[in-house]
Chains A and B, each alone.
Chain A
Amino acid sequence: MVTKEKSDVSQQKREWEKNTLKKTLEKSPERRERFITTSSRPIARLYSPTDMANLDYDRDLGFPGEYPYTRGVYPTMYRGRFWTMRMFAGFGTAEQTNARYRYLLEQGQTGLSVAFHLPTIQGLDSDDPMSTGEIGVCGVAIDSLADMEILFSQIPLNKVTTSMTINAPAAVLLCFYIAAAEKQGVSSTQIGGTIQNDILKEYQAQKTWIFPPDPSMRIITNTLEYCTKNVPRWNTISISGYHIREAGSTAVQELAFTLANGLAYVKAGVDAGLKVDDFAPRLSFFFDSHLDLFEEVAKFRAARRIWAREMHERFNAKSPRSYLLRFHTQTAGVSLTAQQPENNIIRTTIQALAAVLGGTQSLHTNSMDEAWALPTEKAATIALRTQQILAHESGVANTIDPLGGSYFIESLTNEMEEETYKYFDRIDKLGGVVEAIKKGFFQREIADAAFRYQREIEEKERTIVGVNDYITDDMLEIPVLKIDPEVERTQLARLRKTRKTRNNKKVDQLLSRLQKAAEGTENMLPHILAAVREYATVGEVCNALREVFGEYQEPIIF
């Protein structure tokens, strides 16, 4: 019965093409020969039931909160509660960022998200020669527990959850957070939050690594093990496609590489002797939401289905919580234009809508001025308001997976899933994710896609408003956030004071003890925590580990 109906539709579609469409095309051809997404994916003129002929509702979609979770990870989704509006922020000193956090919490933001300055991200102290000109510029300067105590001053760490965008030195910053909570009288079992801690995508895309891949993977499995026992409410890895996409990948590369990385972490955890259901529920994801609305929604839906299936079939996870792909989304920074910056508010709105239609658990919306600098308070407030309007006024949060069942969306979801499995095969053939990184596979794929995108803009196959069309001569002046040079002086003074007032002999002993653990097979986390409680700095801890593990050098590919 069903097959007969479908063949009827494909017959009818052929007739429509012959009798109706052809005449129109003869009279007036379409705007372009080829219609493509942001990822250069060709899109058909029309989708119909024939494009989802193989779709099995029960097998492929199911119901929200049930396997394979295509339609959403929770049974009520946004009817129960909205996504978390989590705006990434950090600049200058710990005092300045603390004030911004308290402002954002007063404005109705529901979680914190820390942006660290580049020296912290690279495991360097503010007084390192490499830190010249970088102190407090791209994020908040954090050298030691002394800074962390100020950063969360008057913010109860048993009440808010905090996401920290930190990777190579993630274990160190987690220990800073644990120690800062202890100072507030809050134990590690009470705190909640996320560390990004996704080193694989650093080698592939974001490029802020320190150590070579193998010791980096050990630090991560140590963290998984430590948190499973001691910090049970902590999300131990935020497996991130965001940076892969921002570096220039297509949507499907973002999907495939991110999930491949996730599966590599699960395998590493299992190989280290952990039970999959003990740590997999604490893995979360972080995706980009770009401008091509439908392709993005399909990406999020495919991601949930693939992850659930792989956790079930490949890793034999038993707990349904291991199957859930919970994710944070950030709108696409790379899509923001320096030209006519106010247009970025509209771009961000479309991207935020895609994330919500895709069922995100939390969302950061970029500010219009971020092609120029870190956002001003006003620009960041508009970006937060964008989410609040989507939540309260647009009505899109009233029903679950509103695009489910669309011929187009279901067809795209299936297509992206198939392409993801093709990438999994290629990565497996290269010997897995770490080997493929060493061979430059991901780096080359991403560089190729980035270059193609640029060509398409220059050849006007795609129009970017204000950049290659609808150009205006007068530059719109918008206020840009400037970092006061005083920040550097304040930070260096505090670091000097910390080094002077702490028990340096004890710090040295604890760092040597950490090195011994690193040289052997012990878990390094308790030793990092012991050292940072005594105010060992991020640079000192990372240097101790650099002496043991060395630093990574990447193959040059362009």
Chain B
Amino acid sequence: MTEAEQKIRVLIAKPGLDGHDRGAKVVARALRDAGFEVIYTGLRQTPEQIAEAALQEDVTVVGLSILSGAHMRLFPEIMKLLKERGMDDTLVIAGGIIPEDDIKPLKKLGIKAIFGPGTPTTEIVEYIRTNAK
């Protein structure tokens, strides 16, 4: 198998206390159907658990899904812990309920793309194909 044919590994992670996993699961399934290797963490993961799972599973993409409103507190922590583990080049993307005003500061942290409500799953698939290294 050549490098290009190797499956892209994606971690879909749910930080925060909310149990809204509909979006995370729909995206996880669409990515799997598109040929990616998908690992889903389950609910209510701490930033440590997410960073550790990303490292252990050796993923190239981390997708964060959150609808609780705690993203401005949790995402910076996750980015910091990923960096501490030497995972600076991991492609981190996010989705859920993230108000317009928060998008700029989150991108500054290194979160490359934020997919809001109504995003077609094909757009996320394309984005990962183009940007995951």
Contact = CB atoms under 8 A, between A and B. Distances in A.
Tell me, yes or no, whether A binds B.
yes
Interface of A: 118-119, 121-122, 124, 129-134, 137-138, 202, 206-208, 246-248, 334, 337-339, 371-373, 447, 450-451, 454, 457-458, 464, 467-468, 475, 480, 483, 554, 556-558
Given A119-B17, A248-B22, A451-B29, A373 B117 contact: no
B82 to A, nearest CB: 17
Contact of A138 (B21, B69, B116): B69
Nearest to A202: B19
B44 to A, nearest CB: 7
Q: Which of B21, B73, B97 has the most CB of A within 10 A?
A: B21
A134 B120 contact: no
B99 A372 contact: yes
A450 B22 contact: yes
Contacts of B21: 207, 247
Interface of B: 16-22, 24-26, 28-30, 32, 38, 40, 42-44, 46, 68-74, 97, 99-101, 116-118, 120-122
B72 A207 contact: no
Contact of B70 (A137, A371, A480, A556): A137
A134 B44 CA distance: 12
22 contacts: A121-B17, A124-B17, A133-B69, A133-B74, A134-B70, A137-B70, A206-B19, A208-B17, A208-B18, A246-B22, A248-B22, A337-B117, A338-B117, A373-B69, A447-B26, A457-B120, A467-B118, A483-B69, A554-B43, A556-B42, A557-B25, A558-B25
A317 to B, nearest CB: 33
Nearest to B97: A372
Contacts of A371: 97, 117
B117 A458 contact: no
Given A134-B70, A138-B69, 5 more contacts: A119-B17, A339-B118, A447-B26, A454-B26, A464-B118
Contact of B120 (A206, A247, A248, A458): A458
Interface majority SS on A: helix, strand, loop or mixed? loop
Nearest to A248: B22
Contacts of A207: 19-21, 43
Contacts of A208: 17-19
A480 to B, nearest CB: 6
Given A137-B69, A447-B29, A338 B121 contact: no
A118 B28 contact: no
B105 to A, nearest CB: 14
A556 B122 CA distance: 23
A556 B118 contact: no
A256 B74 CA distance: 38
Contacts of A554: 42-43
Contact of B73 (A132, A246, A468): A132
Given A133-B70, A207-B43, A451 B26 contact: yes
Contacts of A248: 22, 26
A454 B68 contact: no
A512 B69 CA distance: 35
A557 B100 CA distance: 31
Nearest to B26: A454
Contacts of A475: 100
B73 A138 contact: no
Contacts of A247: 21-22
A454 B125 CA distance: 14
A454 B16 contact: no
A147 B79 CA distance: 35
Given A133-B73, A138-B69, A122 B118 contact: no
Contacts of A122: 17, 44
* Pairs of residues from A and B, 6 with the lowest C-beta to C-beta distance, nearest first: A133-B73, A207-B19, A133-B70, A118-B17, A137-B69, A558-B25
A130 B73 CA distance: 11
A74 B70 CA distance: 44
A457 B119 CA distance: 10
A519 B71 CA distance: 38
A248 B69 CA distance: 21
A138 B117 contact: no
Nearest to B18: A118
Q: Which of B40, B68, B72, B101 has the most CB of A within 10 A?
A: B68
A454 B100 contact: no
A464 B118 CA distance: 9
Contact of A558 (B16, B20, B40, B44): B40
Contacts of A131: 17
Contacts of B24: 558
B69 A338 contact: no
B121 A458 contact: yes
A132 B118 contact: no
B68 A134 contact: yes
Contacts of A454: 26, 30, 121
A72 to B, nearest CB: 33
Contacts of B70: 132-134, 137
A133 B19 contact: no
Contacts of B101: 480
Contacts of A334: 22
Contacts of A480: 99, 101
Contact of A134 (B16, B100, B116, B122): B16
A397 B92 CA distance: 52
